[in-house]
């Protein structure tokens, strides 16, 4: 069931999302060769708690970190730890904040220092652009499939592929609500978007094939062909004035 949000509720998600954005920007500013993913995770956790908010990924279904930190061929759900970042690593940070009962969810991908290849740079740029192309379609009266198809068409046109196993999702009182928002699909299909819907749109893009497997840690999703991957995500609201980004 889809829960529509009032303007007041959307404002609450936006407050939560602002803290999340600041945390991601802070972490991005600390990325450098030699820093560990665990150190970056601690920076995010301390910042979020200093704002009186809760790092909501931590403990979610037992996930141990404040952020999912996924490096190179890791697509999503990487566990922060002792791994040291290297020049050219493609690193995705995905995190969620809970403030006053309301969730926000957002992700970014950055390259450490200089990109190893032009293709890595393109992968990150295309994934971010795909997110905004999806957001543009998040208009009342459109359907979920309009978002999915726009993202898929753009990414595939650029020679990359989209993950099938994980999708975007409704968000609000819970981190994951209805509807599911796939990053592949057909125009004109799926649920009709309504004013007051809040969703997380999150293209997960692979440079090669989209097939994934889960590492022995039970969390980290890795590309089978070990091609690199990128991930961008925003929490947005569908309003009478169009899509409104709540994690900015």
- 45 scored as a contact of Co ion (CB under 5 A): no
Minimum distance, C-beta of residue 40 to Co ion, in the bound complex (Å): 19
Count of residues touching Co ion (by CB under 5 A): 3
- 229 scored as a contact of Co ion (CB under 5 A): no
Instruction: Give the per-residue SS3 of the chain.
Output: CCCCCCHHHHHHHHHHHHHHHHHHHHHHHHCCCCCEHHHHHHHHHHHHHHCCCEECCCCHHHCCCCEEEEECCEEECCCCCCCECCCCCEEEEEEEEEECCEEEEEEEEEECCCCCCHHHHHHHHHHHHHHHHHHHCCCCCCEHHHHHHHHHHHHHHCCCEECCCCCEEECCCCCCEEEEECCCCCCCCCCECCCCCEEEECCEEECCCCCEEECCCCCCEEECCCCCEEECEEEEEEECCEEEECCC
Minimum distance, C-beta of residue 247 to Co ion, in the bound complex (Å): 10
- Contact segment (CB under 5 A) with Co ion among 104-112, 136-144, 187-195, 219-227 equals 104-112
Nearer to Co ion (CB atom), residue 112 or residue 148: 148
- 98 scored as a contact of Co ion (CB under 5 A): no
**C-alpha 243: how far from chain center:** 17
Minimum distance, C-beta of residue 57 to Co ion, in the bound complex (Å): 10
Nearer to Co ion (CB atom), residue 14 or residue 112: 14
The single residue among 23, 147, 200, 246 that binds Co ion, judged by CB under 5 A, is 200
- 105 scored as a contact of Co ion (CB under 5 A): yes
Minimum distance, C-beta of residue 161 to Co ion, in the bound complex (Å): 19
Nearer to Co ion (CB atom), residue 58 or residue 112: 58
Minimum distance, C-beta of residue 176 to Co ion, in the bound complex (Å): 7
Minimum distance, C-beta of residue 200 to Co ion, in the bound complex (Å): 4
Nearer to Co ion (CB atom), residue 193 or residue 198: 198
Summarize as ranges the residues that interact with Co ion (CB under 5 A). Answer: 105, 200, 202
């Amino acid at each position: 069931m889809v829960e529509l949000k009032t303007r007041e509720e959307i404002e609450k998600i936006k407050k939560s999302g602002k803290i999340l954005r600041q945390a991601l920007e802070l972490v991005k500013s600390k990325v450098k060769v030699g820093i560990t993913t665990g150190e970056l995770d601690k920076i995010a956790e301390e910042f979020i708690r200093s704002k009186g908010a809760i790092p909501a990924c931590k403990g979610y279904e037992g996930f141990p970190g404040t952020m999912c930190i996924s490096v190179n061929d890791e697509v999503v759900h990487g566990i922060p730890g002792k791994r040291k970042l290297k020049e050219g690593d493609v690193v995705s940070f995905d995190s969620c904040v809970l403030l006053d009962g309301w969730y926000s969810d957002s992700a970014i991908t950055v390259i450490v220092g200089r990109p190893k290849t032009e293709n890595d740079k393109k992968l990150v740029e295309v994934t971010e652009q795909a997110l905004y192309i999806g957001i543009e379609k998040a208009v009342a009266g459109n359907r979920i499939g309009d978002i999915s198809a726009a993202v898929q068409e753009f990414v595939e046109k650029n020679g990359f592929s989209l993950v099938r196993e994980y999708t975007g999702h409704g968000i609000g009182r819970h981190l994951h609500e209805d509807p599911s928002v796939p990053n592949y699909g057909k125009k004109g299909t799926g649920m009709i978007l309504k004013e007051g819907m809040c969703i997380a749109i999150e293209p997960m893009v692979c440079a090669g094939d989209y097939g994934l497997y889960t590492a022995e840690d039970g969390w980290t999703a890795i590309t089978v062909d070990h091609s690199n991957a990128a991930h961008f995500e925003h929490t947005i609201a569908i309003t009478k004035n169009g899509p409104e980004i709540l994690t900015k």
